[in-house]
């Protein structure tokens, strides 16, 4: 079936009572790609670096100045956390205008035209692309800021055409089965506006969009196409499971939500195949894989459950949580052109929602890593702390955590600052409480990069930040040289100690792609471990290690506490 035929099919599913002429008129405004079937799966070989432009280095000019640093780090894809125009009450996820970038990020004044804004942004894109660095950014497609012109117009009159862009009621029992996502922060999914209430799944100043209105779908499609035409390489679709609402359901993962996503993917592929659509779906893997469809929804999705299981494995000294999570019983196979994204930390909390951890796991991880009461998020459902803080500023454990993320299945995401062991930013957290009026502890894990202080720390090779950055840089650049890390099959190994007894403390696995076989060992424990050498007849090439030793006479290997080793079969 052609992309155009698929678009009409999706339209008729979502809007059976609307004329297809509306869609025809929309498609007539587009210039279809000559080859809509080409496969461009660049994201499988990506090393992604997530950052806030302003917090990283003030604005896009400042970011250009730091592209050499990012390139040296081994990064080839930038994920720009919210950059679109916003009043910044939710770090930019509250979007006020979808076709404008925040003026402070562009170094322009309020009188700048849209053309002048585009020029600054495209300059940045050209600089990044010139270094082989692709650029994706966040776009919240479920909700807008209450300062968005659509919502302001809707508030002005019940007769406004934009009233139908949102969901209104006087009976707040509507959608009563929709869980409260911001428990402990928001008391309800409904917010009063005069005699009416509007629906929101996140903050009360972020009204949800009403995708039952076809004008919303087409408007959002036009915005995606606009940024695609500017040169953006893809989009992280924020809060994707909540797009369609139906009474009597949880309002999550509904069939029509998937149809909306298919529509967005088809529109992007219709004009320029290869623009990444990345699903942010905080769900169990068997639900998340549905957002990749049959290769016709999102190209990639975050593997949310893997993240806490990596932390659990380090806490317990046992790799079983990871092995179980990546088994086909928990993580179904995904389409050939799809990809998982793995991460240790992002701009949000270390999430422990019961959607993908058990109550026992949540308790264990929270008790092991929430070292300060102030780090608690959503009444025990998460921990707001930087990776270095979670690992108690221990370079060995930080390296181990990175080894797991970088060598297990998927494309890795490095959160800005974590590469050098950035700490929680209490000053920034307090500033944001004053600005937003919300005690959102996630602001602890954001914060600015203080380059002058950092440069002094990095000049001292024995400094904590310098040591962490040197190791992380080596690991990232090593990973980028071997496609098996991003594309290879994963097979876990039975590791035995020198007496032949199974050893849970070492998590070992192979990554195989075409003629390349990589072998990874991670010591998840705080003690030295000696173990039998797998494939004793094979010659191995060491790619990277921490606390690793080989005893050829005994045909054993040894890893120090939290040690790691990445090796490659010599003949592969």
Q: What is the pLDDT of residues 89-137, one digit of tens each?
A: 888 999 999 999 999 999 999 899 999 999 999 999 999 999 999 999 9
Q: What mean pLDDT do residues 224-244 have?
A: 96
Residue 2: per-residue pLDDT: 92
Q: What is the pLDDT of residue 552?
A: 79
Residue corresponding to tokens 């007894």: 501
**Residue 290 shares a structural domain with residue 426:** yes
Residue-number span of the structural domain to which 253 is assigned:
42-146+209-460
269 is catalytic: no
Beta bridge partners of 238: 140
Q: One of 90, 280, 297, 558 is an active-site residue; which one?
A: 280
Kindly report, residue by residue over 153-172, the tens digit of the pLDDT: 999 999 999 999 999 999 99
Question: How many residues are given for the chain?
Answer: 572
| Same domain, residue pair 402 and 259 | yes
| 392-404: b (≥16 Cβ within 10 Å) or e | ebbbbbbbbbbbb
Q: Both 454 and 492 in a single domain?
A: no
For the record, the structure tokens of 114 come out as: 């849209």
Catalytic residue (one of 238, 353, 381, 394):
238
Domain limit, last residue, from 426, 460, 494 = 460
**pLDDT score, position 489:** 95
Task: Provide the 10 A C-beta neighbour count for residue 571.
Answer: 9
Residue 159 falls inside a structural domain? no
Say if residue 545's pLDDT is above 90: yes
CA dihedral sign, ordered 357, 363, 366, 369: negative
- Confirm if 249 and 281 have CB atoms less than 8 A apart: no
Mean pLDDT of all residues in 514-540: 94
Does residue 250 lie within any of the structural domains? yes
- Answer whether residue 394 is part of any domain: yes
**Whether 511 and 403 share a structural domain:** no
- Domain limit, last residue, from 460, 494, 514: 460
Helix axes 214-230, 255-271, angle to 10 degrees: 40
456 domain residue, yes or no: yes
What is the DSSP code string of 269-335? Answer: HHH-TT-EEEE---S-HHHHGGGGTTTTS-SEEE-TTHHHHHHHHHHHT-SHHHHHHTSTTTS----
Same domain, 433 and 489: no
- Each as own residue / partner, the long-range contacts of residues 12-21 (CB below 8 Å, 24 or more positions apart, any chain) are 13/256, 13/259, 14/211, 14/214, 14/217, 14/256, 14/259, 14/260, 14/263, 15/214, 18/214
pLDDT for the residue numbered 380: 85
Give dist(CA 501, CA 476) in Å, integer: 33
For residue 153, tell me if it sits in a domain: no
Asked if residue 497 and residue 452 are part of one domain, the reply reads no
Contacts of 35 (CB under 8 A, 6+ apart): 273
The pair of structure tokens assigned to 77 is: 């894809």
pLDDT tens-digit series, residues 447-497: 999 999 999 999 999 999 999 999 999 999 999 999 999 999 999 999 999
Same domain, 456 and 491: no
Q: Is 127 considered catalytic here?
A: no
pLDDT tier at 184 (50, 70, 90 boundaries)? confident
Contact between residue 362 and residue 381 where contact means Cβ atoms under 8 Å apart = yes
Residue 189 has pLDDT above 60, yes or no: yes
421, part of any domain:
yes
Among the ranges given (20-24, 68-72, 329-333), the one the predictor scored with the smallest mean pLDDT: 329-333
Q: What's this model's pTM, rounded to 2 decimal places?
A: 0.94
Could you tell me the pLDDT band of residue 436, with boundaries at 50, 70 and 90? confident
> What does the pLDDT average to over 200-226?
97
What is the predicted pLDDT for the residue at 454? Answer: 96
Region 321-326: what's the mean pLDDT?
96
Decide if 111 is inside a domain.
Answer: yes
Q: Is 183 among the domain residues?
A: no
- Summarize the confidence of residues 410-427 as an average pLDDT: 97
Residue 80 predicted with pLDDT over 70 = yes
pLDDT over threshold 80, residue 553: no
Say whether pLDDT at 192 is over 70: yes
Residues 284 and 341 in one domain: yes
Mean pLDDT of 6-32: 97
Nearest to 286 by CA among 310, 239, 253, 309: 253
In this prediction, residue 440 carries a pLDDT of: 86
Amino acid 300: pLDDT: 97
453 and 513 fall within a common domain: no
Checking if the pLDDT of 572 tops 70, the result is no
Average pLDDT value over all residues in the chain: 95
CATH code, domain with 513: 2.60.40.1180
In angstroms, the first-to-last Cα distance of the chain is 40
Average pLDDT over residues 258-286: 93
Q: What is the CATH number of the domain that holds 243?
A: 3.20.20.80
pLDDT of residue 91: 84
Question: Is residue 325's pLDDT more than 60?
Answer: yes
Structure confidence at residue 243 as a pLDDT band (50, 70, 90) = very high
**What is the total count of domains within the chain?**
2
239, 335: one domain:
yes
> Do 282 and 242 have their domain in common?
yes
User: Which pLDDT value is given to residue 182?
Assistant: 86
Please check whether residues 249 and 390 belong to one and the same domain.
yes
- Rounded distance between C-alpha atoms, residue 179 and residue 250, angstroms: 7
User: Does the pLDDT value for residue 344 go beyond 80?
Assistant: yes
> Confidence band (pLDDT; 50, 70, 90) for 355?
confident
Of residues 439 and 108, the one with the higher pLDDT is 108
């Amino acid at each position: 079936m052609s992309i155009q035929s698929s678009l009409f099919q999706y339209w008729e599913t979502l809007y059976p009572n609307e004329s297809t002429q509306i869609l025809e008129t929309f498609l007539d405004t587009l210039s279809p790609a000559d080859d809509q079937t080409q496969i461009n799966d660049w994201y499988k070989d990506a090393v992604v670096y997530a950052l806030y432009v302003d917090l990283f280095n003030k604005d896009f000019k400042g970011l250009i100045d730091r592209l050499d640093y990012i390139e040296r780090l081994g990064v080839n894809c930038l994920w720009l956390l919210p950059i679109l125009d916003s009043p910044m009450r939710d770090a930019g996820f509250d979007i006020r205008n979808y076709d404008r970038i925040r003026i402070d990020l562009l170094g322009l004044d309020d009188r700048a035209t849209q053309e002048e804004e585009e020029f600054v942004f495209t300059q940045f894109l050209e600089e990044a692309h010139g270094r082989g660095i692709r650029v994706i950014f966040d776009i919240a497609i479920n909700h807008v800021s209450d300062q968005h012109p659509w919502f302001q117009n809707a508030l002005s009159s019940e007769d406004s055409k934009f009233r139908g862009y949102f969901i209104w009621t006087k009976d707040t029992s509507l959608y009563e089965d929709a869980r409260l996502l911001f428990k402990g922060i928001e008391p309800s999914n409904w917010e009063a506006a005069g005699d009416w209430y509007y629906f929101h799944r996140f903050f009360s100043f972020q009204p949800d969009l009403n995708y039952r209105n076809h004008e919303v779908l087409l408007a959002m499609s036009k915005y995606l196409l606009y940024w695609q035409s500017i040169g953006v390489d893809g989009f992280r679709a924020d809060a994707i499971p909540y797009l369609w609402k139906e009474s009597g359901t949880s309002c999550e993962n509904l069939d029509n939500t998937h149809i909306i996503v298919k529509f967005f993917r088809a529109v992007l592929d219709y004009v320029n195949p290869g623009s990444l659509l990345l699903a942010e779906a905080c769900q169990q893997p068997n639900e998340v894989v549905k957002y990749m469809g049959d290769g016709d929804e999102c190209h990639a999705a975050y593997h949310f459950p893997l993240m806490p299981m990596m932390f659990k494995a380090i806490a317990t000294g046992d790799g079983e949580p990871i092995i179980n999570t990546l088994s086909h019983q928990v993580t179904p196979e995904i389409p050939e052109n799809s990809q998982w994204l793995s991460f240790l930390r992002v701009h949000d909390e270390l999430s422990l929602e019961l959607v993908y951890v058990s109550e026992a796991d949540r308790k264990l991880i929270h008790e092991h890593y929430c070292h300060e009461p102030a780090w608690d998020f959503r009444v025990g459902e998460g921990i707001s702390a930087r990776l270095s803080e979670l690992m108690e500023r221990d370079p060995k454990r930080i390296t181990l955590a990175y080894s797991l993320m970088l060598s297990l299945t998927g494309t890795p995401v490095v959160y800005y600052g974590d590469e050098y062991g950035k700490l929680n930013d209490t000053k920034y957290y307090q500033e944001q409480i004053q600005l937003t009026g919300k005690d959102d502890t996630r602001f602890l894990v954001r914060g600015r990069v203080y380059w002058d202080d950092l440069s002094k720390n990095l000049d001292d090779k024995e400094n904590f930040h310098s040591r962490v950055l040197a190791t992380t840089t080596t690991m990232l650049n090593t990973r980028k040289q071997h496609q098996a890390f991003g594309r290879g099959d994963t097979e876990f190994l039975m590791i035995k100690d020198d007496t032949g007894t199974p050893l849970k403390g070492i998590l070992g696995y192979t990554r195989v792609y075409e003629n390349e076989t990589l072998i990874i060992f991670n010591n998840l424990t705080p003690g030295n471990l000696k173990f039998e050498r797998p494939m004793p007849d094979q010659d191995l090439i060491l790619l990277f290690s921490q606390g690793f030793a080989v005893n050829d006479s005994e045909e054993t290997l040894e890893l120090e506490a939290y040690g790691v080793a990445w090796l490659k079969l010599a003949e592969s």
